[in-house]
A and B are shown apart, each in its own frame.
Chain A
Amino acid sequence: MEGFMYPNEVELQWSVLIVLYPFLTGLVAGAFILASLERIFRVEALKPTYRLALLTALAFLVVAPMPLQLHLGHPERSLEMYLTPHRSSAMAMFGFVYLWYLMAVLLMEIWLDYRKDIVILSRTATGLKRLFYKALALGSTNTSPTSLYVDDRVGWVITLIGIPSAFMLHGYVGFIFGSVKANPWWSTPLMPVVFLFSAMVSGIALVMLMYQLTSGLRERAVDMQCLDTIAKYLFYTFIIDFTLEMLDLIHRIYEADESFRSLDFMVHTKLFLSQIVLQIFLGTVAPLALLAVTQLVHLSINTRKRIYIVAGVCTLIGIFAMRWNVVIGGQLFSKSFLGYTTYKMGFVTREGLGPAIGLMILPFVILYVLIKLLPPWYKKLPAPDSAAD
């Protein structure tokens, strides 16, 4: 500890797992919004990534509560958040936003879009898998054009509802921090908006990378029109995100309230690597510059693909760094504005780096399983029977 801190402030309360959690939910919101661009706004070029984006969102959404459970002092009591939610608590209300988004939006949308394939697979698969598909189809075997049309319309409505739901999903996480008046690093009305746009940036970058990765593994050509469109949306969203973060920064520097000197010192010393180097330069300026080049200059396909990979990876590092700077940074300085502490991150502890890495890898494992069970690529499946059973 340096300087003075209130005695109970020296130990950090929210660990790297709480950094991971907004990162994961942000990827969900971003991937979903990319998918909805195709469905609602008819951006046809994005069709090849529609299903991949939805499965990615699901894989990450399922893992998202796990860092929270590991963090809770009494995870066995976590059901209380659903039994006696305190309506004034953003954290409590978020439990329902999460539940709504998972059940009524994401799972429903995936189910409706895949239903025809699920029914076909329930006939063609064998053994345990067949049982799985039958259950997933809820015993229905109807693939008539009318039923598919109904699915499409209902799915459209769900996607439409899903967009504000995705905004709520991650905007709420921003509000959980932004509404804490005790912490001037967190307390700003911009927080939900910054979180949301950085979420969109991270989600789009992830889908962009996953598309290139899966295409590479399947030895299939990448649809460049699709990839270029994703990169374009990433670029535009990034500009908005960057603008918002710069607005917050400039506002703080200009107003220079009682917290400013303490926070400024913190950013230049304790957060120098994570904020200035990783979040701003490597994570924002570099990808923006790279993407700007691809938008302004005509480059070959391979060059563009390589730039997108570099930009995508830098973006994900930058957005993770942003979550780190918010969560950890918000706890490194004293609320007396007279001192600082350090974050001692364990490795093989319940809330250490080890579990965090594990929880970062787990969504990809789940995604792999999802892709195997519900292939996003249309060519794999035989044509459906025209007669409904």
Chain B
Amino acid sequence: MNLSRRQLLYLLPAAAAAWEFVLAGTPEAAPTYHSAEHWWGMLLDVTKCIGCGGCVRACALENDVPDGYFRTWVERYHVDDFHIESPVVDSPGGAKEGFPQSTLTGGKNFFVPKFCNHCVDSPCTQVCPVGATFHTADGVVLVDQNYCVGCRYCIQACPYGCRYFHPTKNVADKCTLCYHRIVKGLTTACCESCPTGARQLADLKDPKDPIHTFLKTHSVQVLKPHLATGAKNFYNGLDGSVR
């Protein structure tokens, strides 16, 4: 195909709208996005996850995640019979290269993708001493890398282990829900690259979002509900053994 960009812009307005923001390094944020109209969460379907690690790779590429640190990762669970309090869990290299064949046989086995839950009552923002990590009006928890002092209190306070200390920037870092993408109408990198639809971005304020029907018709859970963090990652098919 040898269409010039201009020709395509005439042809497909929808693509044009997306195209504008696909340009690398555009300094302005999307002008038509109003954060008060959105409330972001995510739907994770454990029954669909195949542990391919595509999400981990995509996130690392989209967000320049340093090697050995993870904004998202996948865990593999092996539960023997009724021993749900003692599963065998692994996540080799965060599942960035997928999983080798399991050595354990029998029992119940499944994958669980994990990342920042963008909690409504996040303990991480509560403890930040300077206001470097915060909630946006659309429910995303972000880190201001130019303001963080690197005390790492937020990393200690997160019950889910989703934060890490960036080895070269010396600030706290974590999943941003690809904020730079979702304000421009795109989905997150992990959702875009998930081959089975196990991960789906959800706008909880949009009445047309399929998550509303899904929540009405399926049993879902959040991780560590007893900590009352207001987590917004909803897991379908989550087993009781999941930590």
Contacts and interface: CB of A to CB of B under 8 A. Distances in A.
Contact of A80 (B126, B127, B147, B227): B147
Interface stretch (A194-202, A278-286, A335-343): A335-343
Interface stretch (A1-9, A146-154, A155-163, A289-297): A1-9
Interface size, A (range): 35 or more
Interface string B163-177: 111000111000000
Interface string B66-103: 00011001010000000001011111011000000000
B33 interface: no
A182 B156 contact: yes
Nearest to A92: B129
Q: Give chain A's interface secondary structure class.
A: loop
Interface in B182-220: none
A75 B148 CA distance: 10
Contacts of A95: 129
A300 interface: no
Interface in A28-68: 68
Contacts of B150: 72-74
A73 B149 contact: yes
Contact of B158 (A91, A182, A336): A182
Nearest to A337: B243
Nearest to B56: A7
A335 B126 contact: no
Nearest to B163: A8
B243 A86 contact: no
A243 interface: no
A263 to B, nearest CB: 15
A335 B158 CA distance: 10
B156 A180 contact: yes
Given A89-B153, A336-B243, A7 B73 contact: yes
Contacts of B156: 13-14, 180, 182-183, 331
- Which interface residue of A8, A89, A176 has the most chain B CB atoms within 10 A? A8
B1 interface: no
A331 B152 CA distance: 12
Contacts of B19: none
B130 A81 contact: yes
A90 interface: yes
Contact of A6 (B126, B147, B161): B161
A344 interface: no
A84 interface: yes
15 contacts: A4-B89, A6-B91, A74-B150, A85-B129, A85-B130, A86-B129, A88-B127, A89-B126, A90-B127, A91-B153, A92-B130, A176-B153, A182-B158, A183-B156, A336-B89
Given A7-B91, A11-B164, 13 more contacts: A6-B162, A8-B161, A8-B164, A72-B149, A73-B149, A74-B150, A75-B149, A80-B130, A80-B132, A89-B153, A180-B127, A180-B156, A334-B161
